[in-house]
Amino acid sequence: MTDIIKSIENAQYNASLSKSEIEAILKDNSINDFLFAAADKVRQKYVGNEVHLRGLIEFSNICRCNCFYCGLRKDNLTVQRYRMSADEIISLAQKAKDYGYKTVVLQSGEDAFFDKDKMCKIISSIKQFGLALTLSIGEKSYDEYKSYKEAGADRYLLRIETTDKELYKKLHPSMTFENRLKCLENLKSLGFEVGTGCLVGLPEQSDESIAEDILFFKKLGADMIGLGPFIPCPNTPLKDEQGGTLIKALKVMALTRLLLPDINIPATTAMETLQENGRLLALQSGANVVMPNVTDEECKQKYVIYPGKAGLNNTAQEYKNSIVEKIEALGRTISQDYGFHKKTV
Ligand code: SAH
Ligand code: SF4
């Protein structure tokens, strides 16, 4: 047995890997199948065969930030911007409930139009449907996060994107790594289930820095980790970069499952975008969550974080049915509960 295989074997039992072990695993592609199988076993043992579906509502593509990788960045003047009304958002959430979702995820650019009061009204209306609610709306003040929590929001997704501070600075004009981190700490202290994650395959991102990202997830005590390949987007400063690969993103995800055995890990749309059935591969390599889009057609087409996003040509209902069918064909079941993080380690 090679040392690398041995360290993967051990990690299945002690949920621990050193930075140099993670780097060695990332570099060696001969062990990929072994790694994916190990993550699949750990997923099965700790979170079982159920897959949690979360209905995603992309309610505004207006953003004041200028992240270099993202199609929705402020300086991209080719985007047709939209913003749903509170009523539209609430009625989509109702629709998600009717489709059978137990959780809705509200995602948007950093759109200042939705101030604290507007957001809290939307949150409390949706909570009346008996849904779990996840927010993914960017960096806010402690006070805003506190109000969202009091209005009933359960979870918050805010990817750290990269823990390489130099790279973070280059990619995020007028944002700081320190504030992003502070936001995550605030969310944790307020009692949110906290999700973070990273982009895989950013320019100048080393395996060492990815290893640090994974160790950061563990140190933070994340409840969810969403990660995916960086996909270059036209009309952004990184449009000509190479981007990440599906395999590398799956490896980072599998390693995350080994180190955080009982958390929720989505098979992300970016994975499906790079390869048809990429999401199913993810479900067999450590993932236990899928977030189908319930945004209506017209808005979905305009929410272009990266090009070629999977699922653009299906209605929300078609999309859900086909995902459910595929999940069941893997011998997995669709969860009927809220899918909160059940801590076992
Ligand atoms: N504005 C919010 C939520 C929307 S962006 C926020 O930034 O937190 C959601 C995620 O899309 C980001 O966290 C980022 O990791 C991802 N993303 C942005 N551009 C991308 C690209 N070109 N390829 C892959 N993922 C991308
Ligand atoms: Fe805005 Fe989020 Fe895109 Fe950054 S990643 S430009 S914050 S939508």
Distance CA 221, CA 208 (A): 20
Query: What's the mean pLDDT in 162-178?
Result: 98
The protein residue whose alpha carbon is closest to atom 4 in ligand 2 is 67
Q: Mutate which of 72, 113, 159, 271 to test ligand 1's pocket (most atoms within 8 Å of Cβ)?
A: 159
Query: What's the mean pLDDT in 293-308?
Result: 95
Distances from the Cα of 91 to the Cα of 82, 187, 205, angstroms: 17, 27, 41
What per-residue confidence (pLDDT) applies to 312?
85
Span from the CA of 159 to the centroid of ligand 1 (angstroms): 8
Please name which ligand lies nearest the alpha carbon of 138: 1
Ligand 2 site residues, Cβ closer than 6 angstroms = 63, 65, 67, 70, 72-73, 109-110, 138, 305
Say if residue 153's pLDDT is above 80.
yes
Q: Mutate which of 105, 175, 199 to test ligand 1's pocket (most atoms within 8 Å of Cβ)?
A: 199
Q: Is residue 56 helix, strand or coil?
A: strand
The protein residue whose alpha carbon is closest to atom 2 in ligand 2 is 109
- Amino acid identity of residue 174, one-letter, is S
Which residue carries 């699922």 as its tokens? 311
Please name which ligand lies nearest the alpha carbon of 160: 1
Span from the CA of 178 to the centroid of ligand 2 (angstroms): 17
Instruction: State the number of CA atoms in the 13 A half-sphere of 281 facing the CB.
Output: 22
Please name which ligand lies nearest the alpha carbon of 162: 1
Ligand 1 site residues, Cβ closer than 6 angstroms = 69-70, 107, 109-110, 136, 138, 158-159, 161, 199, 228, 230-231, 233, 270, 305-306
The closest-lying atom of ligand 1 relative to the alpha carbon of residue 63 is 1
Phi and psi torsions of 52, nearest 5°: -95, 130
Could you tell me which CATH number the domain at 3-334 has? 3.20.20.70
Give the tens place of pLDDT for each residue, 320-339: 899 999 999 999 999 999 99
Span from the CA of 14 to the centroid of ligand 1 (angstroms): 32
Say if residue 319's pLDDT is above 90.
no
What per-residue confidence (pLDDT) applies to 311?
84
Say if residue 164's pLDDT is above 90.
yes
Nearest to 223 by CA among 178, 260, 268: 260
Give the tens place of pLDDT for each residue, 119-144: 999 999 999 999 999 999 999 999 99
In DSSP terms, which residues pair with 105 in a beta bridge? 56, 134
Domain ranges of the chain: 3-334
Q: Are 292 and 56 in contact (CB under 8 A)?
A: yes
pLDDT band at residue 47 under the 50/70/90 scheme: very high
- Amino acid identity of residue 275, one-letter, is Q
Query: What's the mean pLDDT in 19-38?
Result: 98
Q: Which phi-psi region, left, alpha or beta, contains residue 289 (left: φ > 0; alpha: ψ -120 to 50)? A: beta
Mean pLDDT score across all residues of the chain: 97
Say if residue 196's pLDDT is above 80.
yes
The protein residue whose alpha carbon is closest to atom 11 in ligand 1 is 305
Stated pTM of the model: 0.98
What per-residue confidence (pLDDT) applies to 345?
83
What per-residue confidence (pLDDT) applies to 310?
85
Please name which ligand lies nearest the alpha carbon of 180: 1
Instruction: State the number of CA atoms in the 13 A half-sphere of 174 facing the CB.
Output: 5
Say if residue 1's pLDDT is above 80.
no
3-state SS of 92-154 is HHHHHHHHCCCEEEEEECCCCCCCHHHHHHHHHHHHCCCCEEEEECCCCCHHHHHHHHHHCCC
Longest distance between any two alpha carbons in the chain, whole Å:
59
What per-residue confidence (pLDDT) applies to 53?
97
Distance CA 18, CA 3 (A): 13
